Amino acid sequence: MNQTIQATQQIDPANIAARAESASKIYGSGESEVRALDSVSISFERGKFSAIMGPSGSGKSTLMHCVAGLDSLTSGSVFIGEVDLSQLNDKAITKLRRNKVGFVFQSFNLIPTLSAYENIILPLSLEGESGDDAWIKTVIDTLSLNDRLKHRPSELSGGQQQRVAVARALASRPEIIFADEPTGNLDSKSGTEILKFMRRAVTDLGQTIVMVTHDAVAASYADRIVFLADGKIAGEMTQPTPDKVLDYLKHLGE
Amino acid sequence: MLRLSLKMTLARKGRLVLTSLAIILGTSFLSGTTIFSDTINNTFDQLFTDVFRDVNAYVRSANSVESEFGESRHSPTQIEALETILKVPGVSAAVGDMQSYARVIGKDGKPLGKDQGPPTFGGIASSSSAGLWKVESGRLPVGAKEMMLDRETAENGKFVVGDTVRVNALSGTREFSLVGIANYGDVSSPGGATFALFDQPTASEFLLKPGFVDAILIQGDGSLSDEELAKSIQAALPAEARLETLTGAQITAETTSQIKTVLGFFTTFLKTFSFIALGIGCFVIYNVFSITAAQRQRESALLRAIGANRRQVTIALLVEALIIGILGSVLGFVTGIGLSQALSALLNALGLEIPSSGLTIEPSAIISTVIIGTVITVLSAVLPALRAGRVSPLAAMRDTALDTVNDFRRRIIFSAVLLAGGAYGLVSSMNGAGAKSLGFGAVGLFAGVLFIGPAISRKMAMIIGAPVAKLRGVTGAMAQQNAARNPKRTSRTAAPLLIGVALVTSFTALAASIKGEIRDTYGKSFRGDYALSVDSRGFGGIPTSITDQIDALPEVDKATGIGFVPAKVGDESRYVLVINPKTTEGLYTLEMVEGKQSDLTKDGILIESDKALKKNLSIGSIVDVTLIDGRTLPLKLVGTYKNAFGNYVVSREIFDGSTNSLFDSSVYIKINEGESDEQVRKAISAISTDLGIGKLESRDEFIDTQAAQVNQILALIYGLLFLSIIIAIVGIIITLLLSVFERKREIGLLRAIGMTRAQIRTMIRWESVITSLFGAVTGVVLGITMGIVIVVSLVEKGFSAFKLPITGTITILIIAFVIGVVAAVFPAWRATRTNIISSIASN
Ligand SMILES: Nc1ncnc2c1ncn2[C@@H]1O[C@H](COP(=O)(O)OP(=O)(O)O)[C@@H](O)[C@H]1O
Ligand SMILES: [Mg+2]
């Protein structure tokens, strides 16, 4: 039954922040061909915290990279809002990432030569804008970064660095934020902190976040979890709790 | 370990290519100049071996004076000796030889050959088998109305047997009928020179002095060895004739070695610049090894982890350096072959034609290039290799290229010591301590600046980059930060440009001061309206007969000629300034310290005041002056002067009746009032310029031209430093590429969060510009400082003031800007190709 599950139900089309349609990504050819994504269709709802889960190598990162405009599909299409990414050239996609997408990666998120504050407003600076000061202040307050703004990344702890990364992702108030295992390199205390901040960003500030993770506890902070296996959608879950997720994963493994 | 090194070397092809590139460039100039000098040396060896091939003995006057360049000028030889020589048993043929100044006037009235370029000779054509010329068509000239031309000149001038040819020489301009065309041995003309040939009496009378030739060439009948032949000829010659006999081999060797001495100055000059280029190459090599050693901390740590000890890690890197060093030097040698051709082209373009036949590649050139290149590469790798050996396994975990904040206090103190020592060396060299002290001084200054580099590069990059950050927003700010983030790397990258720019600046500054000096000196001494001058490089000039003709023109009030002849003053071989005291007044005025210029007679001499002081001479002292003709004249010091070119001035009268041929190198002319410029030029040109003798210029033009002569040398220096600049650019390119590689994740991240490719390019371009401007600004400061130090310490020698080369400095900064932009093109393009996914995915 798994292969027929498509995670597109129940979302009002006007409320979709990003979606993929029959997205396939194939690496290599012939004998060594790898189908990292196999005709995946999925939508991410605006104002919601979504998680993508699945075993290692199931295509989570690939899906995220393709939907975020960092990589191109072999076939199928991807939309951010109403914009079809396959219609854009490199410059337009780059500008779209800058203005409409926020990123938090697992590690090496910050430019070492810039201060925390400069890192936060970097996407705005690249656009030549100063951004919405009040909003940026709210973001910085929410992430408790006020006393760290002048510091260089090398002077920040891992947790603080990830908070700066989250702040940067929020700074331009993007259409959607992608986070690839944002807590993967953190101790559990800092990881929990980050997850709480992301949750608040969605609940209190109305942002849209898609997070890739293989940690059930992390995934339980999301509103909805999409499960991936072998490049296909294997199922989904709403209002998750850690136990429910672990249960589901066990069931998937069988 | 060796296998591992080899594997590691080959595994990183990009790094291999970049490092070898630095070595190739560094060594190519060295091999280029070596091949170039081997080639010209070989050319002259062959030329003179050919010329004297059939000559067994050579007789010439024993009276001679050594010129400043170490070559000796001999007095003419009496032709009477020929009769004596022909009677010596073992002699089969003998003939007079002459290579004097003579210029052939072309059919269009313009002279063949130029003031600059291959010389124009007059010589003797003879039926004797000892003669160097062989008739190709027509016949030998006989008597005062006939002449022959070398084949090449005849062809160039479209002359055929039967034509009338005008020739200008020491005793004036005459017309001859062309009766034959000749070949020089087997070639049409040696080294592009022109030859007008006459029978011996005509040649002696027209070109030199009746009864005299330059030398006598002798052929043996084979019964005696050359040594025995020379000995018996010398024995037959009367002692009072003061003649000397050389064997064919001796005269060949002497002529060749004289040419080589002159060429030696030049090749040493070239070698100096090739070592500068090599030194600059060293910096690039050192920088590349430092960066790559840092980048492969993981690799080194891994080696340590699998059981390699410190020494083995260091040796692995040194072996890699050895492999690359050999490879790069061999390629550098090959590149040098092309470069030697480029060098010939450069010299031709500057009007310094040097004949060369083919290409001479001595095994020693290959060996020395490869050895020097390899040694230098390995030495450049020593420090980085030691550092790599010290890497702790923990370092492998750390991210590379962290900002290094060092304590620079010791560095600053040490550089201050170097700088002070350098300045002291420079100053003392200018005050007579010699070239060694100059070398040490310059090296000290450079070392000081290079050593202090890392301590100031961060600040400097921030300052230079500040406007960029203002203008280009965040991309500019990041460029500024990137240029400042590795102070050591930035300063090492900028170092080659710093050295090049400092040299260019100090030469430019020095040249500007010399030009000012020349203007000053000429401006004060030359008071006429026009000057006729030649740049004959010590051969020929303006025949004094022409000077007299100009003096006699109705448009001309008066004209005075000034010449230089080699002479021995006391025990010093010098070019002596020869003036005509009867006509110099109001035309050529020396700035007298003691005595009057008009006191100069045929028994007197004027000496530069410092020189007189140094030699302990005062008015009335007697100075012995030996001329080429062998006469030693006791001349009385009648006056001292300052601020002129040359240390000694004598009167033209001392050459009356001498066999020493006298040419003027310039004629100063004062015209009668009311004569128009056009009229005057026409009248003088009729005598001189139409004969291709000298250039007629107004006073202002003349002074400009004299000052501009410095430009030729300056252009040569610029040309030679050009290669150093190329190496500097390549150094910047290599560093940027390595930095781009090193910052792959950073660039991938920037691309991910929205930096466009154009912005990436902008960021790298400005980083490059800031780095190169840092080098240029520091170089300009150092160069100007050196210029000031040199000029100020020369003030006593008559240097008026330091002239700041403002336009030169601005030009240099603009060029540095362009260099930065150009150097960034490829690395920036490479950076835009950074794969976003793989760089952000790598942990
Ligand atoms: N550049 C690539 N070349 C070849 N195969 C790749 C590449 N990137 C990812 N893959 C393969 O695609 C599959 C999905 O990878 P990925 O999306 O990174 O999985 P996940 O993030 O879920 O661990 C894996 O089998 C992986 O090996
Ligand atoms: Mg992944």
CB contact under 8 A, B750 and A111: yes
For residue range B806-840, what is the model confidence (pLDDT) as tens digits? Answer: 888 898 899 999 999 999 999 999 999 988 888 77
Q: What is the pLDDT of residue A76?
A: 93
B559: part of which helix (H) or strand (E)?
A: strand B556-569
DSSP for B735-752 reads HHHHHHHHTHHHHHHHHH
Q: Which residue has the higher pLDDT, A155 or B790?
A: A155
CA distance B483 to B820: 12
Residue B366 in this model has a pLDDT that exceeds 50:
yes
d(CA B784, CA A150): 40
HSE of B574, CA atoms in CB hemisphere, 13 A: 17
Mutational pocket test of ligand 1: of A24, A25, A26, A27, the residue with most ligand atoms within 8 Å of the beta carbon: A27
Q: Which is nearest to B124 in space by CA: B203, B207, B208?
A: B203
Residue B791 in contact with residue B801, Cβ under 8 Å? Answer: yes
Residue pLDDT, tens place only, B487-500: 888 888 898 899 88
By mean pLDDT, which of A74-78, B2-6, B252-256, B283-287 is the weakest?
A: B2-6
Asked if B376 and B26 count as a contact pair (C-beta separation under 8 A), the reply is yes
The mean pLDDT value for B726-737 works out to 88
Q: Which residues of chain A have pLDDT under 50?
A: 1-6, 8
Evaluate whether B561 touches B666 at the Cβ level (below 8 Å).
yes
What is the distance of C-alpha B371 from the center of its chain?
26
Q: B482 in contact with A at a CB cutoff of 8 Å?
A: yes
Give the mean pLDDT of B383-399: 68
At A28, list the tokens. 């290599």
Are B478 and A114 inside 8 Å of each other by CB? Answer: yes
Q: Which of A89, A94, A115 to mutate to test the interface with B (most CBs of B within 10 A)?
A: A94
Low-confidence winner among A158-167, B34-43, B125-134, B629-638 (lowest mean pLDDT): B125-134
Place of tokens 């006298």: B662
Residue B795 confidence (pLDDT):
63
Task: Specify burial of residue B305 (Cβ count, 10 A radius: 0-12, 13-18, 19+).
Answer: exposed
Burial environment of residue B191 by CB neighbours within 10 A (0 to 12, 13 to 18, 19 or more): middle
Q: Are A38 and A230 in contact (CB under 8 A)?
A: yes
Question: What is the mean predicted confidence (pLDDT) over B321-344?
Answer: 89
Q: Which of B128, B121, B95 is nearest to B206 (CA)?
A: B121
End-to-end CA distance of chain B: give it in Å, rounded: 29
CB contact under 8 A, B837 and A71: yes
Q: Do B756 and A118 touch (CB under 8 A)?
A: no
For a pLDDT cut of 90, what percent of chain B falls above it? 16
Of A65-74, B707-716, B719-728, B831-840, highest mean pLDDT: A65-74
Ligand number with the minimum distance to the CA of A62? 1
The fraction of chain B above a pLDDT of 70, given in percent, is: 88
Chain A residues within 8 A of B840 when measuring between CB atoms: 70, 105, 108
Quickly state the pLDDT bin for B70 (edges 50, 70, 90): low
CA of A239 to the centre of ligand 1 (A): 29
Select the residue of B473, B753, B841 nearest A98 (Cβ to Cβ). Answer: B753
Ligand at shortest distance from the CA of A36? 1
Determine which residue's CA is closest to atom 20 belonging to ligand 1.
A57
Reduced to 3 states (helix: H, G, I; strand: E, B; else coil), residue B219 is strand
Q: Is B471 on the interface with A (CB under 8 A)?
A: no
Query: Each residue of B457-513: pLDDT tens digit?
Result: 889 999 999 998 888 888 999 999 999 988 888 888 898 899 889 988 888 888 887
Contact B359, B340 (CB under 8 A): yes
C-alpha of residue A56 to centroid of ligand 2, in Å: 7
* B470 contacts: CB under 8 Å, gap ≥ 6: B476
CB B285 within 8 A of CB B19: yes
Token code pair at residue B253: 């060797």
3-state secondary structure of B96: strand
Burial class (CB in 10 A: 0-12, 13-18, 19+), B544: buried
Shortest-distance atom of ligand 1 to CA A60: 22
Model confidence at B162, pLDDT cuts 50, 70, 90, reads very high
Q: How close A119 comes to chain B (CA, Å)?
A: 10
Q: What is the pLDDT of residue B185?
A: 67
Indicate the residue type of B602.
Answer: K
What CA–CA distance (Å, rounded) separates B598 from B401?
76
SS3 B674: coil
Q: Mind listing the domains of chain B with CATH numbers?
A: 55-260 (no CATH), 457-524+706-843 (no CATH), 535-693 (2.40.70)
pLDDT of residue B10: 60
pTM score, two decimals? 0.80
Higher-confidence residue of B196 and B53: namely B196
Tokens of B384: 């980085």
Contacts of B566 (CB under 8 A, 6+ apart): B65, B66, B67, B68, B73, B573, B574, B575, B576, B628
The length of chain B in residues reads: 843
- pLDDT tens, position by position, B98-124: 888 888 888 877 777 665 556 678 888
State the average pLDDT over residues B346-354: 64
Question: Measured between alpha carbons, how far is B371 from B87 in angstroms, rounded to an integer?
Answer: 58
Query: A225: alpha, beta or left, given left = phi > 0 and alpha = psi -120 to 50?
Result: beta
Ion ligand 2: residues, CB within 5 A, are: A 61
Q: In A, which residues are within 8 Å of B751 by CB distance?
A: 94
Asked if B756 lies within 8 A of A128 by C-beta distance, the reply is: no
Return d(Cα A153, Cα B526) in angstroms, integer: 72
Name the closest-CA residue to atom 26, ligand 1: A57
Q: Does B686 touch chain A (CB under 8 A)?
A: no
Q: Domain segments of chain A: what residues? A: 47-69+88-253
Q: Are B749 and A113 a contacting pair at CB < 8 A?
A: no
Q: Which CATH superfamily is domain A47-69+88-253 in?
A: P-loop containing nucleotide triphosphate hydrolases (3.40.50.300)
Whole-number Å distance between alpha carbons of B151 and B843? 79
- Environment class of A243 (CB within 10 Å of its CB; exposed 0-12, middle 13-18, buried 19+): exposed
Binding pocket residue ranges, ligand 1, CB within 6 Å: A 27-28, 34, 36, 54, 56-62
Pocket test for ligand 1, best of A35, A38, A62 (most atoms within 8 A of CB): A62
Tens-digit pLDDT profile for residues B430-448: 766 666 777 788 888 888 8
Q: What is the pLDDT, as a whole number, of residue A5?
A: 47
Question: Binning pLDDT at 50, 70 and 90, where does residue B272 land?
Answer: confident
Burial status of residue B727 (CB atoms within 10 A of its CB: 0-12, 13-18, 19 or more)? buried
Enter the ipTM: 0.93
For residues B182 and B149, the answer to whether their CB atoms sit within 8 Å is yes
* Cβ B48 vs Cβ B256: under 8 Å: yes
Angle at CA of residue B249, ends B567 and B71, nearest 5°: 20
Report yes or no: A19 and A44 within 8 Å, Cβ to Cβ.
Answer: yes
3-class SS of residue B501: helix
pLDDT at B738 over 70: yes
> What per-residue confidence (pLDDT) applies to A4?
38
Burial class (CB in 10 A: 0-12, 13-18, 19+), A1: exposed
Cβ contact (<8 Å) for B756 and A91? yes
pLDDT digits (tens, 9 = 90+) for B180-208: 998 876 666 666 678 899 999 999 988 88
Res B176 pLDDT > 80: yes
At which residue do the structure tokens 């003797």 appear? B124
Secondary structure, 3-state, B109-161: CCECCCCCCCCEEEEECCCCCCCCEEEEEECCCCCCCEEEEEHHHHHHCCCCC
Distance between A149 CA and the closest CA of chain B, angstroms: 17
- pLDDT at position B407 is 65
Are B321 and B385 a contacting pair, CB within 8 Å?
A: yes
Residues of A with CB under 8 A from a CB of B: 61, 65, 70-71, 90-91, 94-95, 97-99, 103, 105-114, 118, 122-123, 125-128, 154, 168
Residue nearest to atom 1 of ligand 1 (CA): A27
Q: Write out residues 363-422 of B within 8 Å (CB-CB) of A.
A: 399, 402-403
Sort B345 into a burial class: Cβ within 10 Å, 0-12 / 13-18 / 19+: exposed
Dump strand ranges (E) for chain A. Answer: 16-27, 34-45, 49-53, 75-80, 83-84, 101-104, 176-180, 209-212, 224-229, 232-238
Residue of A108, A129, A156 best to disrupt the B interface, most CBs of B under 10 A: A108
The residue ranking higher by pLDDT, B256 or A151, is: A151
Given the CA of residue A65, which atom of ligand 1 is nearest to it?
17
Are the CB atoms for A187 and A155 separated by under 8 Å?
no
Residue B839 amino acid letter: S
Interface test with A, best of B400, B474, B760 (most A CBs within 10 A): B474
The residues in B 484-543 lying below 8 A from A, measured between CB atoms, are: 485
Residue type (1 letter), B310: R
Q: Are B706 and B522 in contact (CB under 8 A)?
A: yes
* The pLDDT of residue B401: 44
- Given a cut of 70, whether residue B405 has pLDDT beyond it is no
What is the spatial distance between Cα B429 and Cα B445, in angstroms, rounded to a whole number? 14
